[in-house]
Structure 1
Amino acid sequence: MEAEWTEEAIQRITTEDTTLKQRVRQLTADNRTLDERLKAPRSNLRFQDRRVADLEAQIVAPGPTL
């Protein structure tokens, strides 16, 4: 099977493979960075959702005011 491949074809495929592996590593790192950047806004949104729910509950069933 290897005899059917020219040295040029093997070199081209090896180069492409290396390039693709580097691209996968870069995309993985970019994805990790974006996930990290999303953590804070997601946390803030959860906090705001809880705060809105608390305020809505206060409007519906107001307790004694201090």
Structure 2
Amino acid sequence: MTQPGEYPSRTCVEQSDEREETWRERALNAEDALKAAHSEILTQRTRIGEHLCQISDLQAEWTEGTIQRITTENTTLKQRVRQLTTDNRTLDERLKAARSNLRF
């Protein structure tokens, strides 16, 4: 230990004060993290609510007639894409043939 009349370098009171300070700091950090988490949860819930409203608004706008019209337009556009792809291939083959004839 220490010589009579000397004080130990750290007393039990100082050690307990240090422990209490670290626990206090941890508790404050935990409280801050909890507040941040609650804030983030509230933000996410608000965002989810907005998205749910948008989804219900979109679903309300689609009537049976609108869905059928869009499906018909989609089918027509797909057929047009197939036709244009075929025409493009035909024109590409003609161009290649014309270039081949030009070389000879």
Q: TM-score, normalised by structure 2?
A: 0.42
Rg (Cα) greater in structure: 2
Structural RMSD (CA) = 1.2
CA distance in 1, matches of 2:68, 2:85: 26
One-letter code aligned to 2:96: K
Gaps of 5+ in 2: 1-57
1:12 aligns with 2:75: no
How far 1:3 moved relative to its partner? 2.6
Choose between structure 1 and 2 for higher RCO, CA contacts under 8 A separated by at least 6 residues: 2
**What is residue 28 of structure 1 aligned with on the other side?**
85
Q: TM-score, normalised by structure 1?
A: 0.63
Which 4+ stretches in 1 moved above 3 angstroms? none
% identity of equivalent residues? 85
One-letter code aligned to 1:13: I
CA distance in 1, matches of 2:59, 2:75: 20
- Give per-residue Cα distances to partners, 1:2-59, cap 9 Å, x unaligned: 2321100010001000000000001001110111111111112234xxxxxxxxxxxx
- Kindly tell me the number of residue pairs found equivalent between the two proteins: 47
Gaps of 5+ in 1: 48-66
